[in-house]
Every structure is written in structure tokens, then in C-alpha cells.
Amino acid sequence: MPRKQGSTNSTNYHYLLKKYIDDEKTQLEESRYFKTQGDIQTHYSMKRCSIYHIMNNTNTNKRKYANIEIVKLSPPISVYSQVEKYPEGLLTV
């Protein structure tokens, strides 16, 4: 099925992952944008259900991923807006 007339071919970031130095989430170590949950899975070697539990605060992975926070962006951010690319991944400006 083709794209609708007048729509743009754009790629968007849908997730923001914040990794903190401590478990209390006071000091931010890094912040990265991701397009899909699969990108998060491959970069941090975690399962899809773990991503779901982190996003919805179900506290089932309390010990292992206590210093990670994942936010679903609404509306998504365009790839071309104020995000720099680095060899290991993407960081915010």
C-alpha cells in the first residue's frame, strides 16, 4: 500500500531512555533516544517484557534496572531535530 499523497517520509524517535548513576535517580549519567523497543533491546541486552515493566513502573525488575527510566514520547521527535549522532548511539544535545 503506497504512502498517502502529501505525507512526508520521516523517521521519528519514540522512546527516551535515561540512565542514572545511582538507584535513587538523582544524577543523570546518559540520555538516549531510540526509534523502537528493539533498538533498546539490542543496545542494553534486555528483554521486551523488561522494557514494558520499566515503562509502566510495575516494580518487577526493581533490582536489575533500578537506575533506568524509559519514557514513551508523545508526540514522537523527528530524527532531524536537535539530536546528535555518536558512534555508539544517540545522545541529546
Chunk the chain into consecutive blocks of 10 residues (it has 93) and report each block's average pLDDT, rounded to whole numbers.
70 89 82 91 91 82 81 84 54 52
pTM exceeds 0.85, yes or no = no
Residue matched to cell numbers 500500500: 1
Q: Looking at residue 87, what is its pLDDT?
A: 47
Q: Looking at residue 6, what is its pLDDT?
A: 74
Q: Are 34 and 49 a contacting pair, CB within 8 Å? A: no
Domain of 79 in residue numbering reads as 44-93
Q: Looking at residue 48, what is its pLDDT?
A: 92
> In total, how many domains does the chain have?
1
Domain assignment present for 26:
no
Domain assignment present for 18:
no
Domain assignment present for 74:
yes
